[in-house]
Structure 1
Amino acid sequence: MAYASLLSLNQTLDQILHPNDQTEQPHIIMGSLHEKVSFLLSFLDVSSPQNSDKLRGLEGRIRDAAYDAEDIIESSMSNQIVSESGSHEYRTESHMSNQIVLEWDQKFERLQKIIQEFNSISDEVVKMRERNEIQVLLPSNSLPAASSKSRSTNKSATVGLDHDLMEIKKLLTKPHSELEVVSIFGMGGLGKTTLAKLTYNDSLIANHFDVRAWIVGSQEYREVLNGLLNSLGGTNHESGEESIEKLAENVSKILKDKRYLIVMDDVWVIEQLTRVKSLFPDNNNGSRIILTTRIFEVAKRASHLCPPHHMAFLDVEASWNLLHEMVFGEERCPPELQEIGHMIMRMCEGLPFLLVLIGGLLYKSERTLHYWKHVERNIHSVVVGMDYHMDFLVYISFIYNQLPHHLRACFLYMGVLPEDYEICRSKLTKLWVANRFIKPDRSKSLEEVAEEYLKDLVDRNLILVREWSYSGEIKTCSIHDILRDFCLMKSKEEKFNSDVEYLPGVHDNLRQVSILTDLKNQIPRFALGNNRDLRVRSVTFFFCNSPNDIHFITNFRLLRVLDALTIRLEEFPVEIVELVTLRYIALSYWMKHTFPASIAKLCNLETLIINPGKFRSIFNTSFLPPEIWKMSRLRHLLFVGSYLPYPTHALKGGTFVSLENLQTLSNMINFRWTKEVLEMMPNLKKLVISYEHDGRTEWSSYCFDNFVHLHQLEVLKCFFFAKCYIKYQDPLPVNFAFPQKLKRLTLSGCRISWKNMTVVGSLSNLEVLKLKFHAFEGPVWELNDGEFRRLKLLLIHMTDLEHWKVDKTHLPSLQRLSLRYCYKLVEIPSGIGKIPTLEEIELCECKTSVVTSAWVIQEEHESLGSNGFKVVLKDKDDTDISS
């Protein structure tokens, strides 16, 4: 954490030394400190991972000194900002001013000592360089091209699993009608979960069962029930909203009379299976349960009908094939690396988990004999003659120490997440940015750099991609439970992260707090929050606690991240506006709410997320105050529905400033896009907006034609709907315009004629297009040459379209076509089937003739030897297609 602590301190100093900053800290000492921090950052940037052992002691000193310095500086800044805002009760302004000056004089001495410590560390670094004890990274152009590129994909450990997959599929589809449990047993790292996922996602299995669900057996029973309901597409529920008995009843109702497949991953005790299995009706139709476990006794007792499937170690050939695929893909291993490569392979002892990890390391590292020998020497003692679980942790420690410094905090942050937790890419990168793990790059946004960090960790197989979007981006990701164990262990060593269970015993340098349990009756033992000098920077709730449990976080006065989406509030917790260091806030509401004007005190706020959880309705509307336009650091505003006041005061020469850093704005209602407003938010990349037609307001008053001036916009979602007393709203004006940089577009309720589709088709970068609820209308749509050159996904949802004229030249990049509730469409044009990139046609509630035309297309693909194409039929519109 040395690098992350330095990076965070450096950004704090940059903020202070910026000429527009209003703080009055002594600039001479800050400049001196900034110089030392910049030197050490540059040193770590070029330091080779092979220096890890030599630098370990220095890194601990760097981390502690940087933590101390930042705590002193941010505490003083916080006091000054709060004092200037007049927020302290019953204290006069002069009294507070005198107190801050006195406080700064006392802290000045401490900062000087910290600078002396940095001087001492820097001197040691210089001496190590002079003695040639420090290796530097090779210039990027000296590395093989293949190792410097990004795969942006996860190559799962599928090598050697073909036989296992075939066996499990036979057990699941055999004619025996009684409900059976199929157990997959083996030690950690053998690929039990991978095999279960391969089976679960297999097209034969998907078509064989009516419904499928995936749950984690080691979770609390309530979480298991909620996971089942969400996975089965039942009514969404949140913990605390329904009794356990009611949740269990809902699960049983959904599964009744259906042939189902349930995967219970990572079961440790038989009681976990017994309790959940009691919910599953035996419909005598061949339903199955897949259970994965490390415990043989659990696998043995799970079923008397089906013996456990024991996962075996990979043989030498399969092990080499897997390692080779991880490192080289379709390339050939250089002859000089063959022998050392096989030595490394053998040390992994046939464990896919280790082979995948070492493959990720070698893929991203120098392809030289010298470095591969370094790897072989370091893992030799790890994988021989030790307890296997400790093998993993020590082995992962070596992998971790080979990570570039800038990736370490991002990787360890994954330990904050609960076991088997799936997190959205966009949320994860925002959290990394808010926690200041990302090094600024003048040519890119912080979010773009964070995306690169994520892809790097994915390439190293340290983060698993759970879902990809059709535009080729990571949509959701997670971390293997063994890697999570390491993150937790290393985080405590680095004084970085803990959950509430262990918090009282952790050193007060702790930065991240993850709350994984109910705080009911535990707040007294969590009373360390009474210490005003606590250094906690991030608090994340993963359990549905009481709204009252959020108030203790005001004790963490240097807090940067408050993620409390699992706590459903009735009103904004106004006391948090005193936490002026907050950069990220995520809250949930269940009713209409108004933000206080005092939210503008949060002068460092970058991300504000308001989510109603799974209960979305008109009652979740938010009302933002005009003061929101003062918050110039805002980067992301995400709401289900919110009214953003028009900046009238600012446009008349008021004190408001522009939101020039704003990248995401979602979801604003009935907002007017005048040129003046666009100039105040010039860097928008994602915009979600909704409009309610009242029958009186002209569409033109919202200035939709000005969208073309949003030159950085890549994602746009526009929803138009009529008030309940209006049967049909007016069509949108034809002069609707879009910026050329747009990649993903969703339109709903526009009622524009198909003849005007050219305005969309001419977007040269468009990859995803979703047309919902009569976005375009008319009986015929005829595409023009040269349109939709890059479109990969097309969704048409609810339209009166009857005939669609298209051939393979019109949509040359199309991969997926989804037609939902297109009741009048006669057939899918045969030209669609001739598009060489097409992988899937999805249909829901369409005419029989449409389904028939889809099967004909599939038969044509099969006759040409293409097995990758498939037709998917859905009986309800349960999930949105990934974008």
Structure 2
Amino acid sequence: MAYAATVSLLQTLEDSPQPMQQIPSDLLEKVRRLLGILDDPATKNSLSIKDLEGKIRDASFEAQDIIESHVSTHQLELSKSVSSGVCSCFWEIISALQDMFPAVYLCETWTDSMYQGMNLEVKGLERVIGELDLILEAMSKIKDGKEEAPGAGNLWVAGASRSVASNESAPVGLDQDLLHLKDRLTGSSSNLDIISIVGMGGIGKTTLARNLYNDPLIEDRFDTRAWVVVSQNYHVQEILTILVNSTRREGGEVHKKCVDELAVRLHKNLKGRRYIIVMDDVWDVKAWDDVKRFFPDDNNGSRIILTTRQSEVSIYPNPRSPVHHMKLLRSEPSWDLLRVTVFGREDCPYVLEEIGWKIAENCKGLPLAIVVIGGLLSRDKNEEYWKLISQDVKSAIARNDGDQFMQILSLSYDSLPHHLKACFLYMGVFPEDYEIFVSQVIKLWVAEGFMKPLATKSLEELAWEYLSDLINRNLIEVRRRNRNGEIKSLIIHDMLRELCMQIAQDEKFLQIINSHSHGFPQGRNNQRRVSIHSDTLNHLTVVHDSFLRSLLYFAYLQSSTQLESFLVSFRLLNVLNALTIKFNEFPVGILELVYLRFLAFCYRGKHRLPESICKLRNLQTLVVYRRDVSSRIASNTLYLPLSLWRMPQLRHLLFEEGFLPYPSLAKFKRKDSVVLENLQTLSQVKNFRCSKEVVEFMPNLKKLGILYVHDSRTKWSTYGINNFVYLQKLESLKCEFIAKDDLSRKHLPPKLAFPVNLRKLALYGCIISWENMTVIGSLPNLEVLKLRTFAFEGSVWEPNEGEFTKLKYLLIQDTSLEQWHADSTHFPQLRCLCLNFCSKLEAIPPEIGDIGSLEMIELCECRSSVVASAMLIQEEQQSLGNEGLRVRVNSFGEYFNSHLDTSLRKVQSPRSERALFQARRAAQLFMEAGREVH
């Protein structure tokens, strides 16, 4: 975790108050040099630098602790010295003064005290700087090539790959894979074809390739064949030597030849012959570039099989050739593999079968885990022993064959560049089988300081690149996608999560607290992050001198009393995720955590957040939910403080329903007003006034969610809706319009304009005429359009040609639309059409079926004629050979259930059986009421 720790220290140094920056100036220079060496690709696999990483991490931690502890202590002293008898607006005043004079401290005596205290810490920093000097000296020698080169090749990797293939005589669960790839290997194409097999470690890539390689039909078809394990630290000379010896026409084996001589010999061995070559365990595209020119293409049907854990590598040799993605085994093949591993051709005793199924399912479809646990079960075929193993399969593997098992999986971790290691280990904070939302994890990574800032990209863009890289390396799996194909949520396999937790604990990166934990980590030598999965707070004992940086709760807790007093121990906390904890009163102790960057909690108390929240001047993300609010509270609206407009680090503000006060014009005209340049998300705000001045103070806003609750006396001009068009960076806009009564329901301005960069638009209750749809249809980048409950009105919609050129998802719900005239030219890239509760619509235009990209038509509570038209479209497309179009007709109950699940997921907490039962029961009662309505 050297890289993440050093990046975090760099941010602390660069963001520190001015007096602090003057003292450790040489430290700042050394940290930048360290990052420069770690960023160098040449040092990625250096064994010597890996030996230094622990020292770099610890030195960075200590320096950061010294600096932040000192600043935190003196900010707390200042707070206490002026808090007595001060009115609630004090923090608004002090915030304004700090904006006016950012380099000057307000209290001269406090500044002097800070310098005096800092002098006491200088010796500690000097010692750290001395340690960094030694580290830099060692790293410079490594970078200059003065270290000994690592051993030739990675022999253990080759052995590991072959050991996995030891059970290849019974390719259980791979029947379809084998048939498909045999067809490709023996197909009529005469061109040289490169077939890539990709998947996570232990999923059976080598097993599949070995069974293809040894298949009698394949042996007979090819004149010569060869198998080479490439591994991470490969050498071209070794690869060529193996290939030459395997394909030699005559004579003995070749030894000690140079690369050029081996290349000539290999080309001669293969020339004119139909060959099949397996390159197993390829980690880098460079490995292919180093050998590809030695494989002749004589148009005789030769084939090359390449196995890899990385999607980028699988595509690289031939982007036009389809990649074979390995899938996790389903329940039945998992049991079949376990049974064959334990009993071979013998039958499994009936008494063990049910337990065996359970054990197989707990391996979550990973063949390597099934084979390992099968070897363990084969030692003792006693029912009681099997029951014991079934209680915790992961622990059973760890206690027995865990070392070899984890070594195979850890190869993927070891191959990661420095900047991705912390991001991968962070996946261990989430509970088992937890659905990880992309938007959530990106905000957390940014708050944790994992990204080294770049001038050309935002931190969120960098985080998304990191996430995509982990997906391409098959370390995390896509769980769900949005309607336009974007990744919405992720999941990590249990075994990879176990790897995360093991490495994270060794690296002092993360500790999980659950019902089996013995206590809370304390002191500098323990983990910097704690994730709590227990339903009780018994483990929250008093903590002294804690250097914890992140505290994440995923347990559902009814009471927050103990936690509020507990939080004050964590003065250096950066991340507090407490959405599953209900705070009846605002936890004022949080305001002492001046280094907080991410704060998410559930607040059921008073309607207002205090003005003093601006004390959290480092805050980037603020999420406040108002779930399960007492019926005694008349309104669910959360009133936000004016001081939010003076928190320049804010990047994301998310509420269920929050009222953001409009700053007075006089305050906007002040030269010292803060522009929220970093603010990207604002959702969901009530009656938002989008004046030109407000737009200027949010120049980089990308996502905006608004709820307008209006009456007959309020004019639309009050809200400045026409100014949406000036939000030039806006990509996602959700607007809900709710009238207090029928008299206050009114149409939006007909000439309403939207920003040109808009990609997602959701409208509710705005009553726009279908004739004015061209305003939306002309948006050049629009991909998702959701028109809910009377967003538009009128009986006929005729789109204009050239509109909706990039639209991928269209939802129309609760509308008076009767006739819709459209064809494929109006929605050329549409993938999904969803019509809900369109009770007056007569039919779907038949020409919609001609859209080549259309994959799904979803209907709910529409007329039978609409359903019939959808089915007719599907039949016509099937008759033309288009099997990809599906039609799904949902009932009201299914629709409600789907939205219930979405709502539960948004809470982002593990669902207990009792909570799930209660939610389902409520859904059932609601559906019964719904049937009566309809």
TM over 0.5: yes
1:390 aligns with 2:284: no
Would the aligned equivalents of 1:592 and 1:619 in 2 still touch at CA under 8 Å?
Answer: no
Name the residue aligned to 2:647: 631
1:39 aligns with 2:33: yes
Counterparts of 2:810 and 2:422, CA distance in 1: 38
Q: 1:689-700, aligned counterparts within 5 Å?
A: 689-700=706-717
Moved more, 392-401 or 403-412: 392-401
Assess, with a 3 A threshold, how the Cα gap between structure 1 residues 6 and 556 changes in structure 2: closer, same or farther.
same
Counterparts of 1:662 and 1:549, CA distance in 2: 33
Would the aligned equivalents of 2:785 and 2:810 in 1 still touch at CA under 8 Å?
Answer: yes
Counterparts of 2:611 and 2:553, CA distance in 1: 26
Q: How many pairs were matched up?
A: 681
Q: Following TM superposition, by how much is the alpha carbon of 1:461 offset from its aligned partner in structure 2, in angstroms? A: 0.5
Assess, with a 3 A threshold, how the Cα gap between structure 1 residues 416 and 164 changes in structure 2: closer, same or farther.
farther
CA deviations over 1:306-346 (Å, ceiling 9, x no partner)? xxxxxx9757346999x99xx9xxxxx9999975624779x
Q: Following TM superposition, by how much is the alpha carbon of 1:57 offset from its aligned partner in structure 2, in angstroms? A: 2.2
Q: Following TM superposition, by how much is the alpha carbon of 1:591 offset from its aligned partner in structure 2, in angstroms? A: 5.6
Name the residue aligned to 1:358: 309
Name the residue aligned to 2:355: none
Moved more, 789-798 or 414-423: 414-423
Counterparts of 2:581 and 2:594, CA distance in 1: 21
Name the residue aligned to 2:7: 7
1:71 aligns with 2:83: no
Would the aligned equivalents of 1:558 and 1:579 in 2 still touch at CA under 8 Å?
Answer: yes
Q: Following TM superposition, by how much is the alpha carbon of 1:102 offset from its aligned partner in structure 2, in angstroms? A: 3.3
Which amino acid is the alignment partner of residue 358 of structure 1? R
Q: Following TM superposition, by how much is the alpha carbon of 1:850 offset from its aligned partner in structure 2, in angstroms? A: 0.2
Which amino acid is the alignment partner of residue 210 of structure 2? V
Name the residue aligned to 1:429: 442
Name the residue aligned to 2:554: 542
CA deviations over 1:275-313 (Å, ceiling 9, x no partner)? xxxxxxxxxxxxxxxxxxxxxxxxxxxxxxxxxxxxx97
Counterparts of 1:344 and 1:742, CA distance in 2: 41
Q: 1:104-119, aligned counterparts within 5 Å?
A: 104-119=118-133
Counterparts of 1:658 and 1:622, CA distance in 2: 23
Assess, with a 3 A threshold, how the Cα gap between structure 1 residues 506 and 574 changes in structure 2: closer, same or farther.
closer
Name the residue aligned to 1:56: 50
Q: 1:571 aligns with which of 580, 585, 590?
A: 585
CA deviations over 1:779-819 (Å, ceiling 9, x no partner)? 00000011000000000010000000101111000000000
Counterparts of 1:42 and 1:636, CA distance in 2: 30
Would the aligned equivalents of 1:82 and 1:88 in 2 still touch at CA under 8 Å?
Answer: no
Specify the SS of the correspondent of 1:518.
coil
Name the residue aligned to 1:348: none
Assess, with a 3 A threshold, how the Cα gap between structure 1 residues 548 and 599 changes in structure 2: closer, same or farther.
same
Counterparts of 2:630 and 2:780, CA distance in 1: 35
Name the residue aligned to 1:824: 840
Counterparts of 1:615 and 1:482, CA distance in 2: 39
CA deviations over 1:403-451 (Å, ceiling 9, x no partner)? 0100000000011111111111001000000000112111111001100
Q: Following TM superposition, by how much is the alpha carbon of 1:401 offset from its aligned partner in structure 2, in angstroms? A: 1.5
Would the aligned equivalents of 1:495 and 1:507 in 2 still touch at CA under 8 Å?
Answer: no
Name the residue aligned to 1:351: none
Name the residue aligned to 2:279: 341
Q: Following TM superposition, by how much is the alpha carbon of 1:642 offset from its aligned partner in structure 2, in angstroms? A: 0.5
Q: 1:835 aligns with which of 838, 851, 859?
A: 851
Counterparts of 1:502 and 1:49, CA distance in 2: 39
Specify the SS of the correspondent of 1:586.
strand
Counterparts of 2:746 and 2:756, CA distance in 1: 26
Give the TM-score of the pair, scaled to structure 2.
0.68
Assess, with a 3 A threshold, how the Cα gap between structure 1 residues 687 and 120 changes in structure 2: closer, same or farther.
same
Q: Following TM superposition, by how much is the alpha carbon of 1:110 offset from its aligned partner in structure 2, in angstroms? A: 0.7
Q: Following TM superposition, by how much is the alpha carbon of 1:391 offset from its aligned partner in structure 2, in angstroms? A: 2.5
Name the residue aligned to 2:886: 870
Counterparts of 1:474 and 1:740, CA distance in 2: 23
Q: Following TM superposition, by how much is the alpha carbon of 1:657 offset from its aligned partner in structure 2, in angstroms? A: 1.6
Specify the SS of the correspondent of 1:871.
strand
Q: Following TM superposition, by how much is the alpha carbon of 1:452 offset from its aligned partner in structure 2, in angstroms? A: 0.5
Moved more, 766-775 or 863-872: 863-872
Q: 1:25-424, aligned counterparts within 5 Å?
A: 25=20, 27=22, 29-48=23-42, 51-86=45-80, 99-133=113-147, 160=174, 162=176, 314=208, 316-317=210-211, 339=277, 341-342=279-280, 358-359=309-310, 362-363=313-314, 388-424=401-437
Counterparts of 1:505 and 1:616, CA distance in 2: 36
CA deviations over 1:491-517 (Å, ceiling 9, x no partner)? 111101002325546763421010110
Counterparts of 2:144 and 2:450, CA distance in 1: 30
1:709 aligns with 2:726: yes
Specify the SS of the correspondent of 1:540.
strand
1:455 aligns with 2:468: yes
Would the aligned equivalents of 2:201 and 2:412 in 1 still touch at CA under 8 Å?
Answer: no
Counterparts of 2:84 and 2:743, CA distance in 1: 58
Counterparts of 1:754 and 1:361, CA distance in 2: 45
Moved more, 706-715 or 95-104: 95-104
Which amino acid is the alignment partner of residue 689 of structure 1? I
1:598 aligns with 2:612: yes
Q: Following TM superposition, by how much is the alpha carbon of 1:846 offset from its aligned partner in structure 2, in angstroms? A: 0.4
Specify the SS of the correspondent of 2:279.
helix
Q: 2:663 aligns with which of 647, 650, 654?
A: 647
Q: 1:744 aligns with which of 760, 769, 787?
A: 760
Counterparts of 2:888 and 2:56, CA distance in 1: 56
Give the TM-score of the pair, scaled to structure 1.
0.71
Name the residue aligned to 1:282: none
Would the aligned equivalents of 1:754 and 1:778 in 2 still touch at CA under 8 Å?
Answer: yes
Name the residue aligned to 1:815: 831
Counterparts of 1:132 and 1:548, CA distance in 2: 58
Would the aligned equivalents of 1:23 and 1:77 in 2 still touch at CA under 8 Å?
Answer: no
Specify the SS of the correspondent of 1:716.
strand
Would the aligned equivalents of 1:695 and 1:726 in 2 still touch at CA under 8 Å?
Answer: no
Which amino acid is the alignment partner of residue 547 of structure 1? S
Counterparts of 2:870 and 2:776, CA distance in 1: 26
Specify the SS of the correspondent of 2:534.
coil
Which amino acid is the alignment partner of residue 528 of structure 2? R
Name the residue aligned to 2:705: 688
Specify the SS of the correspondent of 1:594.
coil
Name the residue aligned to 1:197: none
Q: Following TM superposition, by how much is the alpha carbon of 1:518 offset from its aligned partner in structure 2, in angstroms? A: 2.5
Would the aligned equivalents of 1:659 and 1:681 in 2 still touch at CA under 8 Å?
Answer: yes
Counterparts of 1:343 and 1:11, CA distance in 2: 38
Name the residue aligned to 2:682: 665
CA deviations over 1:807-854 (Å, ceiling 9, x no partner)? 111100000000000000000001111111100000001000000000
Which amino acid is the alignment partner of residue 739 of structure 1? P
Counterparts of 2:214 and 2:484, CA distance in 1: 32
Q: Following TM superposition, by how much is the alpha carbon of 1:135 offset from its aligned partner in structure 2, in angstroms? A: 8.5
Assess, with a 3 A threshold, how the Cα gap between structure 1 residues 650 and 89 changes in structure 2: closer, same or farther.
closer
Specify the SS of the correspondent of 1:13.
helix
Specify the SS of the correspondent of 1:568.
strand
Counterparts of 1:865 and 1:389, CA distance in 2: 50
Specify the SS of the correspondent of 1:690.
strand
Specify the SS of the correspondent of 2:763.
strand
Name the residue aligned to 2:538: 521
Counterparts of 2:718 and 2:824, CA distance in 1: 40
Counterparts of 1:849 and 1:98, CA distance in 2: 80
Unaligned runs of 5+ in 2: 86-105, 151-170, 181-199, 216-226, 232-238, 244-265, 267-274, 284-305, 319-367, 376-396, 907-934
Specify the SS of the correspondent of 1:800.
coil
Counterparts of 2:751 and 2:529, CA distance in 1: 50
Specify the SS of the correspondent of 1:434.
helix
Name the residue aligned to 2:810: 794
Q: Following TM superposition, by how much is the alpha carbon of 1:26 offset from its aligned partner in structure 2, in angstroms? A: 5.2
Structure with larger Rg: 2
Name the residue aligned to 1:200: none
Q: 1:419-498, aligned counterparts within 5 Å?
A: 419-498=432-511
Counterparts of 1:3 and 1:579, CA distance in 2: 25
Which amino acid is the alignment partner of residue 759 of structure 1? V
Alpha-carbon RMSD: 3.7
